[in-house]
Amino acid sequence: MALLSVDLKEGTKTVHAEAERSKFVKYFFKGEITPATYGRFLISLYQVYSALEKALEENKDNANVQLLYFPKELARKEALEEDLEFFNGPEWREMLTPVSPAQQAYIDAIERCSKTKPELLIAHSYVRYLGDLSGGQILAKKLQKYNDLPEGKGVAFYSFDQIENATAFKDMYRIRLNQVEVDEETHQAIVQESCQAFIRNIDIFQEFDHELEGLPLTKKEQEALAAVPIETAAAESTGFLASLAPSNLINSLAVAVGLKSNA
Ligand code: HEM
């Protein structure tokens, strides 16, 4: 059996690239996400992390989950509360309802894993926390740069105070991933659940697309989007990724390349 850290990285490459191409991410990079939109995006994150961190806590005695359980270093719920107050004001909890369809689907997926196959929570931890320690750090810099945030304010979510060296931590996390002891079927299921978790993140991004409408992409971005190999997406529709969530994946790819409207 191949190393889980390697299979996760390889297996999620396509969906990672797709996440990076999301409209939301593109606008984030251009500094065109308003603080109000970002405040609402934080609500989505809060729903996801509340569910994830509750599920991890409930399953921390599972030997495999325990290997990847680092509440002190990784837990984001409290940090999110700080940022939520900063961006949305003290009444932010009133914004937790109604729960949006993409938020609900993500929460349901996490709860399903928690109840039926806790090992799959490893996938959800991997996708969110390793992402936050990687691309998330780039996003934090953009957020600070474009919003002229006061020193240390509004970026608690991206600040891992208990982690001195993110690269060393990620290396250690990957070693732990490779110590997970599961059969081949579960190993593959963790990779598949990770791909689905990426798609759930893309679905959350897409819930903000309508707020971004009217903000044109630059010429360079249009060219980059036009270069997305749609035949790859079509090929995948009969392959591995198709077994995960074909309509979601192909739809979001089609939206990304402008073949389909997002309505
Ligand atoms: C803003 C767009 C993004 C950028 C620029 C970005 C960038 C990166 C980079 C540079 C790495 C490699 C880090 C390393 O190996 O040390 C990485 C890894 C990763 N990213 Fe992203 N990312 C983005 C979006 C996302 C999203 C939306 C997710 C999931 C929600 C995500 C999840 C991950 C994961 C799980 C890894 C670890 C891969 C591995 O080594 O196994 N990323 N990202």
| 34-73 pLDDT, tens digit each | 999 999 999 999 999 999 999 999 999 999 999 999 999 9
Ligand 1 center from residue 91 Cα (angstroms): 32
Q: Which of 14, 22, 134 to mutate to test the pocket of ligand 1 (most atoms within 8 A of CB)?
A: 134
Ligand 1 center from residue 12 Cα (angstroms): 10
**Residue 69 is labelled as binding a ligand:** no
pLDDT of residue 191: 98
**Residue ranges in the chain modelled with pLDDT below 50:** 230-263
- Distance linking the first and last C-alpha atoms of the chain: 42
CB distance 122 to 68 below 8 Å: yes
Please name each of the domains of the chain with its CATH number: 4-256 (1.20.910.10)
**Residue 16 is labelled as binding a ligand:** yes
**Residue 9 is labelled as binding a ligand:** yes
Alpha helices in 22-70 (DSSP H): 23-30, 35-58, 63-67
Name the residue with the closest Cα to ligand 1, atom 38: 9
Cβ 13 under 6 angstroms from ligand 1: no
CB distance 201 to 127 below 8 Å: yes
pLDDT of residue 168: 98
Q: Which of 9, 10, 12, 16 to mutate to test the pocket of ligand 1 (most atoms within 8 A of CB)?
A: 16
Separation between Cα atoms, residue 103 and residue 204, nearest integer Å: 7
